[in-house]
Amino acid sequence: MHRALAERVFHHPIERVFARYSDHESWGQWAGLGDVRLAREGQPERNGVGAVRAFQRMPGLREEITAFESPRRMEYRIARGGFPVTDHRGAVELTSEGDRTRVRWEATFRSRIPLTGGLMARVVGLLFSRILLALERDLDRNREKSF
């Protein structure tokens, strides 16, 4: 098993960070991954457990939300696609630190290509870091907006 990790502190309250991060379809506006749509809504929350998100720029990739504890935690797994990784499971944990929020994004996975897991873990970690930076910029740009 390999592990990727990214962490960032936001100067925004935990509820605001979680609301924007867990609004899957809004990723197309800020994450830099192209359009993201819900292939299936979750229950009882639309973006919660059972929701499946699909990424336009990664045809065939489907991520299913497996835990949704607003505003503190969301977990997911790659349900379809995702080559060259398998058994990908991710968790995003948010911790309130006064008027700031710490976000910790961790994923574990196996590589289908021998001897490339370490490199893939670094690439995935960099991707997570880039997405968290894009989220921070979006929240900063829209400081007065309610999500």
Q: What is the pLDDT of residues 36-79, one digit of tens each?
A: 999 999 999 999 999 999 999 998 999 999 999 999 999 999 99
- In the numeric block, the tokens 């979680």 are attached to 18
Residue 117's φ and ψ, nearest 5 degrees, are -60, -40
CATH fold for the domain made of 2-141:
Alpha-D-Glucose-1,6-Bisphosphate; Chain A, domain 4 (3.30.530)
- Spans of the chain below 70 pLDDT: 146-147
How far apart are alpha carbons 5 and 16 in whole angstroms?
22
**What does the pLDDT read at residue 132?**
98
**What does the pLDDT read at residue 145?**
72
The model's pTM is: 0.93
Alpha helices in the chain (DSSP H): 14-21, 27-30, 117-141
CA atoms within 13 Å, Cβ hemisphere of 13:
8
